Structure 1
């Protein structure tokens, strides 16, 4: 069953220097395509709307960005500007998201860029496709954060779906025997494996379990019977 996921690809190489130089800048992608040279090299062309407090600084950053070949302003509506940006030839070993989406039947609904990374809302045909995206991106040295997953077929159920971090924490806790009696692991051990604090793990596990319980009960859990969680 297909679903819509909102993901962030953290620190992708394209345009990273631009957004590091002007961290308040935010761009929304309107369109994109690529140009292929006689030797097979590819340059990607992006049309994006930019909002920033300093357009001059943004354009200087684009000019200094080693991944940008050329750019020009196409429209100015006061608080935002539309740019056409052509990249330098992209190395063949770089993971280009849009090629992955094309090859895996993923439909991009919305795409934007900030200093944190590329933010994408897309329709995935299966969870395998989402996992393949994560494996592909992580294999290239970047990272993917799954911000939200929702079902178009059942919007009410979507309210209770776990975030990527909650799902990761709950799944790890289950695999390591955190919910067993006696527990086979501790919050400190889970935190060390995830690279976060024990407090963060506790919050993610607690929130994730609450969502799972609400889903299982159809959202009708009684306030007089709260879900209790054992902390370590």
Structure 2
């Protein structure tokens, strides 16, 4: 199973945000190695030519140590920049805790980093959110979906696809945290079902997981659940 996620991370410690704030386009596209290499500091950034930046201008920003022009690609000016990472950023994204594949370039705006990443499973993504929270980095989940083409762990525990979808959504929205960050009514609205149906779906999924992991034989569920 793999999990595709879209999320926004925000923190004053994130590199390149101040650069995005100063640009008329308010936007930078970049590729980086965070989550793959500890203390990765090399970014490849794609800038709007209208922003008219040079290597010298980029190096004038305190966080940028070095900048090298790589030419132009797809109508963007491309630079390789070495940035000075804040300790909280390098620690929060420490790859020994999780790894993630960057599916699209990171979009840096004054609000933060918009990311689209592929994780090996939900637990790997949850590791990222926990680390961000631990280091005071806000993370807002925009979407999360399981790769249905891959063999799903849900079948291992006897969960139906709908049960797995409900549990994944509930965990991602903080339903099982204390205090809860969402309600069954809000989850039901996202899934397009009634609140009683959502409650029933979660209850059956939880029971299925418990019976599967504890070794009891569960009652067969209908395919629609």
Cα distance between partner residues in 2 of 1:63 and 1:46? 13
CA contact (8 A) 1:161 1:211 kept: no
Cα distance between partner residues in 2 of 1:169 and 1:133? 14
CA contact (8 A) 2:55 2:68 kept: no
Q: Offset of 1:209 from its aligned partner?
A: 5.0
Per mean C-alpha deviation after superposition, the further-off stretch among 74-83 and 50-59 is 50-59
Question: Aligned-pair RMSD on alpha carbons?
Answer: 4.5
The aligned residue for residue 145 of structure 2 is 150
The aligned residue for residue 130 of structure 1 is 125
The answer to which structure, 1 or 2, has the higher relative contact order (CA under 8 A, 6+ apart) is 2
- Residue 95 in structure 1 maps to residue 100 in structure 2: no
The aligned residue for residue 189 of structure 2 is 207
1:103-143 alpha-carbon deviations (Å, 9 max, x no partner): 42333322313212222222222322222211111222211
Q: Offset of 1:210 from its aligned partner?
A: 2.0
Aligned length: 184
The aligned residue for residue 19 of structure 2 is 18
Unaligned runs of 5+ in 1: 34-41, 180-201, 221-232
The aligned residue for residue 168 of structure 1 is 173
Cα distance between partner residues in 1 of 2:91 and 2:148? 26
Cα distance between partner residues in 1 of 2:98 and 2:70? 32
Unaligned runs of 5+ in 2: 151-160, 202-221
**SS at structure 2 position matched to 1:100:** coil
Cα distance between partner residues in 1 of 2:183 and 2:97? 38
Cα distance between partner residues in 1 of 2:119 and 2:73? 34
1:3-82 matches, cutoff 5 A: 3-11=3-11, 12-22=13-23, 24-30=25-31, 32=33, 44-51=41-48, 53-56=50-53, 60=57, 62-77=58-73, 79-82=75-78
Cα distance between partner residues in 2 of 1:166 and 1:52? 42
The aligned residue for residue 110 of structure 1 is 104
Label 1:166 to 1:106 Cα distance change in 2 as closer, same or farther (>3 A): closer
